[in-house]
């Protein structure tokens, strides 16, 4: 069969599908999604839930903060106070024992133990991570389906369960993929609202869900919440400029921006509410992650002339040397760490830049997903194919093309921010695993772009080159 005959066969097949009754197409799509859930997602979830029972034999976790979460949850069951520890008849802030860990897991486990009225265990922690990852996977698939990225949804539901659910543990890092997957909802919902791709009620619902996802990220991983703010504000800036060009009002965008800022502080607001409701001892340490500590020890993630290592104790010892009276992980400690970090810049800026370039090369060359090439190899064709598919707007511009472009841009923005985090902190896969989520989505969108681009070429509505 020559190319012309193949094109004719493909044309007839697509025309036959596009002329099917709409309800029959919906049934076919629903059957495809149900098959993915039944054949892939559910078996992997059941297998992981069963595998989580292995933690029932462990007396404690290697991650110190996890053991503090369990003690805090038991204190909540006894007293009702969350994010606190019951010690010598007093309520001690969990932050003074969990060493500046984000409070999300501890808070959810506290609610869990109040709801079930039983002592939570390491098995519950592992299953909480699985539930957060599952929630992120399902929510991301739902948003993609709303934006009519059907093939990408199938890719996510077929490959995603192995990425989101196969590996898990009892530290907070094992939930980062699910939390990261949720964060695309808010920026995509804002784009859909501005472009009027969905009914107003649907976009409003997605914006509310996106704000809730941002709130959850603030609790579980402050750095991810900050990434979401960066991407969301970039989208809002685009929406405001577009509204100005079209002489439309943009007050709703400003309201959403204020709400996003508010919910991004959920972790701090939760601590404030706890202090108001319960007689908790004043906190000595910060209640969330601090950036300065990570920036300083991050200079030791590769060999360097400063003699630094990526080790918490390196920061502690440096701060004690610079200010002997400062308490480890207190607010004063982080002020000292900022000064020490900028001292390294002043001492040798070329060495700091060399360190960051070395970490950039390490993360771009790291195989985030075992079955995928490194990010620099993977994302290069993703960007190139998107450029080709979205090339000449007179030939290729359409609502579906714009939707694929929006999904790709949002995912690439988050992937880029995780690369930046790896450069500033540590280029290990343990922290950078969420990049794999965005690789799955952009893989599906790339295949959709190739299909749409090829189909237009077959139909003769545009040239195959730009």
Q: So where are the chain's domains?
A: 291-357, 365-466
Report pLDDT for 180: 97
Contact 124, 378 (CB under 8 A): no
Q: Report the distance separating Cα 374 and Cα 11, nearest Å.
A: 36
Q: Report the distance separating Cα 286 and Cα 288, nearest Å.
A: 6
Q: Are strands 90-93 and 84-87 parallel, antiparallel or unpaired?
A: antiparallel
Q: Model's pTM, two decimal places? A: 0.91
Report pLDDT for 398: 76
Q: Report the distance separating Cα 294 and Cα 425, nearest Å.
A: 6
Contact 415, 379 (CB under 8 A): yes
Q: Which two tokens stand for residue 259?
A: 């709400």
Q: Report the distance separating Cα 149 and Cα 33, nearest Å.
A: 12
The 3-state DSSP class for residue 408 equals: helix
pLDDT tens, the chain, 466 aa long: 565 665 555 556 555 655 656 666 778 888 989 999 999 999 999 999 999 999 998 888 888 889 999 999 999 999 999 999 998 889 999 887 766 678 999 999 999 999 999 999 999 999 999 999 999 999 999 999 999 999 999 999 999 999 999 999 999 999 999 999 999 999 999 999 999 999 999 999 999 999 999 999 999 999 999 999 999 999 999 999 998 888 888 899 999 999 999 999 999 999 999 999 998 888 777 767 778 899 999 999 999 999 999 998 999 999 999 999 988 888 889 999 999 999 999 999 999 999 999 999 999 999 899 889 999 999 999 999 998 877 644 444 578 889 999 999 999 999 999 999 999 999 998 889 999 999 999 999 999 998 887 766 655 544 444 3
Q: Report the distance separating Cα 106 and Cα 72, nearest Å.
A: 7
């Amino acid at each position: 069969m020559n190319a012309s005959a193949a094109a004719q066969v493909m044309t007839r097949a697509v025309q036959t599908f596009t002329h099917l009754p709409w309800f029959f197409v919906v049934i076919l799509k629903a059957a495809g999604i149900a098959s993915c859930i039944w054949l892939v997602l559910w078996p992997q979830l059941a297998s992981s839930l069963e595998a989580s029972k292995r933690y029932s034999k462990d007396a404690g976790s290697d991650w110190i903060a996890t053991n503090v979460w369990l003690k805090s949850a038991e204190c909540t069951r006894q007293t009702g106070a969350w994010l606190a520890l019951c010690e010598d008849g007093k309520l001690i802030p969990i932050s003074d024992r969990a060493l500046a860990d984000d409070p999300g897991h501890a808070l959810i486990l506290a609610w869990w133990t109040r709801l079930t009225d039983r002592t939570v265990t390491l098995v519950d922690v592992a299953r909480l991570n699985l539930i957060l990852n599952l929630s992120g996977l399902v929510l991301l698939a739902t948003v993609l389906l709303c934006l009519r990225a059907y093939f990408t949804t199938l890719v996510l539901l077929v490959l995603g369960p192995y990425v989101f659910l196969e590996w898990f543990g009892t530290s907070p890092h094992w939930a980062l993929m699910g939390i990261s997957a949720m964060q695309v909802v808010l920026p995509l919902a804002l784009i859909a609202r501005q472009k009027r791709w969905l009914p107003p009620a649907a976009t409003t619902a997605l914006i509310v869900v996106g704000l809730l996802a941002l709130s959850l990220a603030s609790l579980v991983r402050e750095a991810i919440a900050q990434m979401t703010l960066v991407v969301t504000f970039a989208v809002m800036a685009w929406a405001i400029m577009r509204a100005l060009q079209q002489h439309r009002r943009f007050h709703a965008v400003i309201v959403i921006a204020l709400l996003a800022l508010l919910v991004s502080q959920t972790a701090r607001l939760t601590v404030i509410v706890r202090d108001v409701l319960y007689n908790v001892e004043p906190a000595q340490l910060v209640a969330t992650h601090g950036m300065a500590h990570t920036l300083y020890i991050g200079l030791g993630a590769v060999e360097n002339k400063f003699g630094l290592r990526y080790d918490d104790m390196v920061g502690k010892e440096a701060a004690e040397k610079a200010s002997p009276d400062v308490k480890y992980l207190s607010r004063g400690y982080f002020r000292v760490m900022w000064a020490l970090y900028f001292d390294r810049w002043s001492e040798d800026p070329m060495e700091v830049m060399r360190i960051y370039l070395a970490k950039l090369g390490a993360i771009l060359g790291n195989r985030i997903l075992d079955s995928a090439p490194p990010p620099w190899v993977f994302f290069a064709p993703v960007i190139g194919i998107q450029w080709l598919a979205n090339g000449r707007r007179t030939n290729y511009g359409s609502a579906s093309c714009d939707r694929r472009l929006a999904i790709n841009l949002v995912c690439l923005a988050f992937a880029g921010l995780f690369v930046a985090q790896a450069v500033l902190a540590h280029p290990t896969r343990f922290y950078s695993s969420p990049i794999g989520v965005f690789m799955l989505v952009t893989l599906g969108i790339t295949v959709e772009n190739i299909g749409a681009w090829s189909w237009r070429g077959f139909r003769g509505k545009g040239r195959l080159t730009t």
